[in-house]
Every structure is written in C-alpha cells, then in structure tokens.
Amino acid sequence: MLTSKRIMTMAVAFLSLSIGAQAGIKPGAVWPDNRGVHINAHGGGVLKSGDTYYWFGEHKADTTSSAMVGVTCYSSKDLENWTYRGVALSVSDQKGSDIERGCILERPKVIYNKKTGKYVMWFHLELKGQGYAAARYGVAVADKAEGPYTFLRSGRVNPKIWPENTPKPDAEVLTSALNGNPKLDWWTPEWMEYVKKGMYTWRDYDGGQMARDQTVYVDDDGKAYHIYSSEENLTLQIAELTDDYTAHTGRYVRVAEGGQNEAPAIMKRNGVYWMITSGCTGWAPNKARMFTATSIWGPWKQLPNPCVGPNADLTFGGQSTYILKIADRPDTYIFMADIWRPEHPSDARYIWLPIEFKADGTPVVEWKDEWSMDDLK
C-alpha cells in the first residue's frame, strides 16, 4: 500500500523528469536540461565517449560574457535529453592566473587521445582586463570526459615559425609597411596585398600567432589540428598538434587570407573536408561561408552560403560553432550554432540542424522548426 508520503515523492520525481524531458530538437527555443534549466554551454562542441555524448560549452552569466564560472559539461545518450554534469573546467580565484575569474574563455572543444588516455580541451582565452588583446589559446586535460580538467597553459601559436603555404617574408619590406611606409589604408587593394603577403603574420612572428575563435579536429589517421581565427581575425590558420594533442608541432598554414572569417566548424566526408565559418560582425549574425579542400593543408576553395530557408542569409540568426559527426549513423552530421544575446548572455540559444547533401556531395543546412534524431534513421 502506498503511503501519502511515498505518493508525494513519486509525484515530485515524475514532475522533475517531465520538466527536463525534451521531445525532439527545436532550434532557437529554450533547451531544458534534466533539472528543467536552460542548457548553459555556449560556443561549444560535443564528444562521444563510449555510448555517451558530452556537450562542453561556455557558461554564460546573466549580465556579462566574461567567464565567471568556466566550462560546463552535459551528457546524453540520445542528443536530445541532457543531464547537467557540472563544471568541467573552473576559472581560478588566484589573482593573475591566466584563467582568472572575469577572463574571456570561449569556444571550448574536447578531443580524446587514444595514446595517452587523456581528454584534451582547447579554447580561446583572453586575459582578464585586456579585452581581446591577448588572443591566446588555452589547453587543459582530464582523465574523465566530464572532468575535472586541469589547466596546462595558454599562449600564442608557433612563435618564430613561418607558415608553410606563404612565401618566406621580405622582412625589411613587411617591417616598413607595419611602420607606415608606405602608408596603407585599411581595405584598399594595396593594404590587402600586404595582408596576403603576411604583414600581420610577420608582426606576430616573434611572439606567436593570434588565436581567437577556434575549434580542434581529429582526422581519420589520428592526427589532430587546431583551427583558429588569426591576424586580427583577417585570416584563418590551421596548425598541427603533437601526438598527445596538448601542443603545436610547428607546422601550420594560412587559409582565406584577408577574408575575415571566424567561428570555424569542420567535417570530413568521403575524403573531402568541409568548413563552415562566419564573417566578423561582433555578436550580430551574418551570412555563413563554406570552404572545401581535399587535404587539410589546402588549398581551400570558398563556396556559397550552405544555409537554406527563412533567414538563411543571417545563418538563421546564429553563428557556427561545431559540426558533429554521428559515429553510429553513417553519413549523419549535425550543424551546431549559437544565437547570441549579449544583453542577457545566459539566454543565448542553440541552433542544431541536420546536414543534407546535394548530388555532388555539397553540404546543405536547411532550417527546420523542429526535428528528431529518429528522423535521421
């Protein structure tokens, strides 16, 4: 016989499950976790470990986009219903720490290293009180997918190393241009020529290349790459990582020089690489770009916006962050993006949409008001 107390306990438990349950994926809507709280994992990525997916992202406060908590983690078996797992990487209360509370910590991505058995997190880091001047990467490691992650270091990329696909610099010419001789006005053809020659690459040569919006990618052969917006967000760079995925090997290339791309998200299908990016318009959305190559090192060719449907010219109001390949479903990929709300950062929303393919293999991201993983079977 059920007592009143037990009936009440069961009712509360059922209500909690009902609140947290997600029926399908509704792009742009509030997405509640198991507690009924909107998921707080922005600019993030998803990793599958065993039979569980882990979603990592920036914890956003209500009134600031600075990092007041760190990187949060959620887990799921079905990619629709998510359980809060806590803070995977916490900011530090130590004054002067690279990840001091109030720094800017963005676009965390986690990859697993089979050789070391470690989970490795990469992210874009700006030091507290310096705006976006630091332009660093950050890296942390953990023994378990959900963490806790231990911060290793932050820095610029590949100091004193020149990119493979850019002719070696005429140091005197580029130094003179940086010093205003000749005088170069932004966005003139003359200025753009110097950008393509590596004027800002040369400026940052000694201290290392800038690294802002970023992702990491593990290829079929186990090699990992760091892809990031550099050179004052004018140029993307792709840098190879060491075998343990925690540092750069020194090998890197420049992509879309002077094109102003950020928010890179990459996938590989049938031996062809595809990368979706955005333009640089702050928190405001813009038209997505897409690039393709048959080698991670390029050359990369730009293609038209892959988005189709209402508001497609503004990426449905969002900005790319990650492309998730579903390992146990052949030819299934999910495009992930964020709808930023800088006046109320914690209320930023998520756009998840399945990627479809034209007859020639070109990816298409079509808007859907609602969809389910069951639709992809």
User: pLDDT (tens digit, 0 to 9) for every residue of the chain, 377 residues total?
Assistant: 444 444 333 343 444 444 445 679 999 999 999 999 999 999 999 999 999 999 999 999 999 999 999 999 999 999 999 999 999 999 999 999 999 999 999 999 999 999 999 999 999 999 999 999 999 999 999 999 999 999 999 999 999 999 999 999 999 999 999 999 999 999 999 999 999 999 999 999 999 999 999 999 999 999 999 999 999 999 999 999 999 999 999 999 999 999 999 999 999 999 999 999 999 999 999 999 999 999 999 999 999 999 999 999 999 999 999 999 998 888 999 999 999 999 999 999 999 999 999 999 999 999 999 999 998 86
What is the reported pTM?
A: 0.94
**pLDDT for the residue 22:** 60
164: three-class secondary structure by DSSP: coil
Give exposure, 317-346, as e/b (b: 16+ Cβ within 10 Å): bbbbbbbbebeeeeeebbbbbbbbeeeebb
Angle at the Cα of 89 from the Cα atoms of 83 and 91, rounded to 5 degrees:
125
For residues 68 and 105, give the distance between their C-alpha atoms in angstroms, rounded to a whole number.
9
> Token pair 């540092």 is at which residue?
247
Q: For 151-156, which contacts have Cβ atoms below 8 Å and span 24 or more sequence positions?
A: 151/89, 151/92, 151/98, 151/99, 152/246, 153/98, 154/98, 154/99, 154/125, 155/208, 156/204, 156/207, 156/208, 156/209, 156/210, 156/211
Q: What is the pLDDT of residue 189?
A: 96
Q: Which residue has the tokens 């730009």?
A: 302
Beta-carbon contacts of 221 under 8 Å, excluding residues fewer than 6 positions away, are none
Q: What is the pLDDT of residue 6?
A: 42
240: nearest Cα among 232, 248, 230: 248
The C-alpha atoms of residue 103 and residue 99 are separated, in whole angstroms, by 6
Cα separation, 168 vs 171, whole angstroms: 9
The SS3 of residue 312 is: helix
Bridging pattern class, strands 52-58 and 42-49: antiparallel
Residue 73 · residue 89 · CB < 8 Å: no
| 11 bridge partner residues | none
pLDDT confidence of residue 330? 84
Amino acid identity of residue 11, one-letter, is A
